[in-house]
């Protein structure tokens, strides 16, 4: 659909209007509510196929549309990425290294949901744990979440996208973990993926300058080992090359006059998992 309102910066980034924040807020809240509702189901023995079926139903129940079903041939209402899966894990498919899609005790999983509400996109993901999660996995989740929140803290007019990446990278590497380079955040609004690419690493002061009215995601993927990834033969599932664990959190945000609004805050305060 052709976008007609607002303007586009020299970097190709759309500047939305004050009234557009309400649309993003609603879409973001629907996506976050759905991630809240799935919390109670995540436990050893559940399958990723069951979790996706539940999510699909929750999307429909709210009168929203899944942005991922039909996107580049993808057929699911969520991506579910366990342990060494970095992103784009396919629900209902065999978990890499296993013979089924059954979640096991100690697994950590990212669930990523994108919905369309009144034409606006809400995109968010967070981590869940099943059963007793090992301390190093808890720490990976903590560092990834804190990396995202530090990135968000750098969002205000006059700062740059490089400032966001720098804040995330500095925190992650101080914890002796690594930032994935092969996937990034993205502009969104009335489209799923738009300029800019939001890198989760970088130099302070580099990149495009943030302006009020920009809408984008920040969604760092953090690895316990090396940052390299590879995509499996299913053409979607991205895993760490070294086989070590990975975690991710994602919020959709809008730049305000003084900072930013997080559109995808959890209504139940469940964004960071109780492990």
Question: At closest approach, how far in Å is the CB of 8 from ligand MF3?
Answer: 21
CB 124 within 8 A of CB 28: yes
In the complex with Co ion, the residue whose CB is nearer, 110 or 240, is 110
Q: Answer with the entry of Co ion, ligand MF3, none that 190 interacts with (C-beta below 5 to 8 A by kind).
A: none
| Binds ligand MF3 by CB under 6 A, chosen from 114, 144, 252, 264 | 114
If binding means CB under 6 A, how many residues of this protein chain bind ligand MF3?
12
Q: Closest distance between Co ion and the C-beta of residue 250, in Å? A: 5
Short-list 12, 64, 15, CA closest to 215: 15
Answer yes or no: are the C-beta atoms of 72 and 39 closer than 8 Å: no
Q: Does 74 bind ligand MF3 (CB under 6 A)?
A: yes
Q: Omega before 196 cis (within 30°)?
A: yes
Place of tokens 């305060």: 269
Q: Which stretch binds ligand MF3 (CB under 6 A): 25-33, 55-63, 66-74, 157-165?
A: 66-74
Stretch that binds ligand MF3, among 46-54, 64-72, 143-151, 200-208 (CB under 6 A): 64-72
**Cα torsion angle, 221, 224, 230, 236, sign:** negative
Which of 103, 143, 250, 262: binder of ligand MF3 (CB under 6 A)? Answer: 250
List, in order, residues 6 or more apart from 123 with CB less than 8 Å away: 31, 67, 112, 113, 114, 188, 192, 217, 219, 250, 252, 264
Helical (H) or strand (E) element with 110: strand 108-117
Binding span for ligand MF3 by CB under 6 A among 54-62, 67-75, 148-156, 198-206: 67-75
79 makes contact with ligand MF3 (CB under 6 A): yes
Q: Footprint of ligand MF3 on this chain (CB under 6 A)?
A: 68, 71-72, 74, 79, 88, 112, 114, 123, 217, 219, 250
């Amino acid at each position: 659909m052709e976008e007609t309102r607002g303007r586009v910066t020299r970097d190709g980034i759309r500047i939305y209007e004050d009234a557009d924040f309400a649309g993003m807020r609603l879409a973001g809240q629907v996506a976050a509510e759905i991630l809240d509702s799935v919390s109670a189901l995540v436990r050893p023995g559940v399958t990723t196929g069951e979790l996706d079926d539940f999510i699909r139903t929750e999307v429909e129940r709210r009168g929203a549309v899944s942005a991922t079903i039909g996107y580049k041939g993808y057929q699911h209402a969520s991506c579910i990425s366990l342990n060494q899966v970095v992103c784009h894990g396919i629900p209902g498919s065999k978990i890499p290294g296993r013979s089924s899609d059954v979640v096991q005790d100690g697994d950590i999983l990212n669930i990523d949901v994108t919905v369309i509400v009144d034409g606006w996109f809400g995109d968010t993901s967070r981590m869940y744990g099943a059963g007793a999660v090992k301390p190093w996995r808890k720490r990976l989740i903590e560092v990834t979440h804190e990396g995202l929140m530090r990135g968000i803290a750098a969002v205000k007019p006059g700062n740059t996208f490089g400032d966001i990446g720098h804040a995330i990278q500095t925190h992650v590497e101080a914890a002796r973990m690594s930032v994935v380079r092969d996937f990034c955040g993205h502009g969104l609004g009335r489209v799923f993926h738009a300029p800019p690419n939001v890198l989760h690493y970088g130099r302070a002061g580099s990149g495009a300058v943030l302006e009020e009215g920009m809408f984008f995601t920040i969604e760092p993927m953090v690895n316990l080992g090396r940052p390299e990834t590879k995509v499996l033969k299913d053409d979607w599932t991205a895993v760490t090359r070294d086989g070590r664990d990975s975690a991710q959190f994602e919020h959709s945000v809008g730049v305000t006059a003084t900072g930013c609004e997080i559109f995808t805050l959890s209504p139940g305060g469940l964004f960071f998992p109780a492990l």
